[in-house]
Chain A
Amino acid sequence: MSATLLAVQQTVSTGEAITFWVLGPLALAGGLGMIFARNAVHSALFLVLTMLSLGALYMVQQAPFLGFVQIIVYTGAIMMLFLFVLMLVGRDSSDSVVEVLRGQRLWAGVLGVGLAVLIVAAIARSLNEVTIMGLTGEQANGGDGNVANIGRLIFTDYLFPFELTSALLITAAVGAMILGYVDRHQKGRKTQKELVEARFRGEHDRPSPLPGPGVFATANSVATPALLPDGSVAPESLSRLIEATASQKLERDRKAVAGTLPEPDARALAPGKEDGS
């Protein structure tokens, strides 16, 4: 037990200790939950929990700027984009257990152990060798407070790495945009007028918009199909999405609309009483 370690232990106040013992397990639980959650969105939420706990811990360690930037950038922006993708992919897409890349698990294990060794080594070194500067108070760390110091350092000593990072990020963003929009740029966007003309020339499926859903006395849901003039069901009036999520539930509605269900008896007040519900 070295002298620096003792000094560290002496500077921990009660509030800090309580915060640590509340947030530390929470962060850990978030990390474990992220790995073990079945649902991808739940995994993302657990990760958000971890990031939030870390952000709060940074604040307790007298680094409020780092803490809030962690929350704004990581939790607010990056995880939100993750969530976006997960939600667009769909809630029911589950993980596949098939290894797509050969030897993936082996390499993941090797690299994971390597990373763990690195982190443990870094922490051990920071506990033993690094002298503690202390960040409390306005005068600490060269005066003016933490935030002003960080600002000055970023734009003086660390200007080049900072600009380099931003250039990297911009390159990545522009690259993603070019990859994502290449299709549209080759063809060019049509104006509304050109689209109308193209529709009437028959270049699209149909000249008019899709028919809306039918709303009947028996149901007021958008899942009810519209009827064509001859009484048959207009299949295009049903959204593909609705059909995909609950098609089995609509089967009865369709039968009811098409008139293939047995008629309810004359005294029945509620529709759909005939199947005993």
Chain B
Amino acid sequence: MNRAQLLADDPIWLIAIKCVVLLGFGAIATTAMIILERKIVARMQQRPGPNRVGPNGWFQSLADAIKLPFKEQIIPDTADRKVYFLAPVIATIPAFLALSVIPFGPEVSIFGERTVLQLIDLPVGVLVVLACSSMGVYGIVLAGWASGSPYPLLGGLRSAAQVISYEIALGLSIVAVILYTGSLSTGDIVDAQQTGWYFYLLIPSFLIFIISMVGETNRAPFDLPEAESELVGGFHTEYSSMKFALFFLAEYVNMVIVSAMATTLFLGGYMAPWPLSLINDNMFNSGWWPLLWFLGKVWLFLFAFIWLRGTLPRMRYDQFMRLGWKILVPANLVWIVLVVALRAFRNEEAISAPTILIAGGVVLVLLIGLSFLLPERKVELDDNRVPVTGGGYPIPPLDLRVPDKNAKPARVRRSRREPAAVAAGDKESGAVETQ
């Protein structure tokens, strides 16, 4: 029996157990992740971190998880109450839904019943994760809008733009994997990596995937939707109590999911890493062992998330968008064309490997030759320029006369250009943005 048939054969009680385990896994992973994040970031910043609750403070996030739902709910006056209540739910449910297609392990026996450690193996499993992440954005956007105040709205819009942009890069980096596998099912993708993991076979895809998965989950250095220095708390500024806890849960479960996806797509899923796979005729690749490798790989990515947060400063919004649209997406497209061409050549019997290499070399030489033909960019020099700045810092000249505002009509474009809701954000980043 193959994977899908095994799963279709599951009795109801087994499906129920799997559902409950997935739900618990999401919640436990979140609490563990929060305390680990605080501890690790604290260590990176050379401070003790939480150290009050439990031994060495390790029960801190447990205490927080109990405390948070019992806090007072504050609903803003201007909030759209129905949508305000709905938003955290919409953010959380898709996050948990996406866990259902992740293959946690191979065929095992649970209470005498043969099954696969996976809730469901759809022929379009990868798309399920993408669909869930695109539904999760609704939670964020609606939270921002329903709060009825400017900062959450800006945070929500930023977040939506961010997730949609980076979902394109994310989806494109999956394409190369699908081309190699010939299937959209997550289980098939893992099986196809028995001959070699994709993270070194498809290095560009892997790099783009891990960059865009950080952008997709709104984490540092791409955590612009909740940039504390600019937007207070972003989309969840006005949320408190259980609703805020749900947003927290959704964010961390999303991190677990993208990490699990990265593991499944590029790190061989639940398969044992190389030296271990040689031991005792691949003993560690059967039974319950693979679950350990899978979780280990996922936590590797989760640690990378924390490491990034402790290391990198936040990017500016326009830089972030430029990275996504002008670097990641085009690079990905070029890479996909390369992969397709290589596979097409390989299927063609008449063309041998040397021919491909020679053709590639000729194309490369031509490209380099063409790049020499490009005219150099000329620096325009304005002789009438008034030197008002010094060596890089804007310094007002000593004979500065404060200009008369009424002498020259002030530009009115800004007020005409933007509707009221975005005007505040424009003003914030004002220096470079306007005019």
Contacts and interface: CB of A to CB of B under 8 A. Distances in A.
Interface of A: 39, 41-42, 45, 48, 52, 64-65, 68-69, 71-72, 75-77, 80, 83-84, 87-91, 145-148, 187, 190, 192-193, 195-198, 200-207, 209-210, 239-242, 244-246
Contacts of B403: 200-202, 207
B394 A196 contact: yes
Interface stretch (B30-38, B124-132, B196-204): B124-132
A192 B131 contact: no
21 contacts: A41-B80, A41-B145, A52-B135, A65-B127, A68-B131, A72-B131, A75-B135, A87-B141, A89-B421, A90-B421, A147-B183, A197-B386, A201-B388, A202-B404, A204-B435, A206-B405, A210-B427, A210-B430, A239-B423, A239-B424, A240-B420
A193 B427 CA distance: 18
Given A41-B83, A145-B123, A197 B389 contact: yes
A68 B127 contact: yes
A100 B8 CA distance: 56
A91 B396 contact: no
B329 interface: no
Contact of A244 (B83, B131, B420, B432): B420
Nearest to A196: B394
A210 to B, nearest CB: 6
Given A68-B124, A87-B156, 7 more contacts: A64-B124, A71-B134, A72-B127, A80-B134, A87-B153, A202-B408, A244-B420
Given A201-B403, A205-B410, A241-B423, A80 B138 contact: yes
A186 B330 CA distance: 26
B150 interface: yes
Contacts of B419: 88-90
A196 B394 CA distance: 7
Interface string B135-179: 101100110110011100100110011001001000000000000
Interface residues of B, number: 59
A205 B427 contact: no
A71 B150 contact: no
Contacts of A45: 83, 142
Contact of B148 (A88, A91, A210): A91
Nearest to B232: A222
Contacts of B131: 68, 71-72, 76
A76 B167 CA distance: 10
Q: Rank and list the top 10 A-B pairs by shortest CB-CB distance, nearest first.
A: A202-B403, A76-B134, A68-B127, A196-B394, A71-B131, A241-B424, A64-B124, A205-B410, A72-B131, A68-B131
A241 B127 contact: no
B407 interface: yes
A210 B423 CA distance: 13
A77 B83 contact: no
Given A192-B432, A202-B408, A245-B78, A71 B122 contact: no
Given A72-B130, A196-B388, A80 B137 contact: yes
A204 B409 CA distance: 9
Contact of B141 (A80, A187, A209): A80
Contacts of B427: 210, 239
B184 interface: yes
A242 B153 CA distance: 13
Report which residue of B123, B124, B150, B407 has the largest number of chain A beta carbons within 10 angstroms of its beta carbon: B124
Nearest to A249: B77
Contacts of B404: 202
Contacts of A91: 80, 145, 148
A189 B403 CA distance: 23
Contacts of A87: 141, 144-145, 153, 156-157, 421
A103 to B, nearest CB: 30
Nearest to B131: A71
Nearest to A195: B431
Nearest to A70: B131
Given A75-B134, A80-B141, A195 B127 contact: no
B168 to A, nearest CB: 9
Interface in B212-255: none
Given A68-B124, A68-B127, A244-B420, A76 B435 contact: no
A246 to B, nearest CB: 8
B388 A204 contact: no
Contacts of B411: 203-205
A90 B420 contact: yes
Given A195-B432, A202-B403, A240-B423, A147 B184 contact: yes
Contacts of B127: 65, 68-69, 72
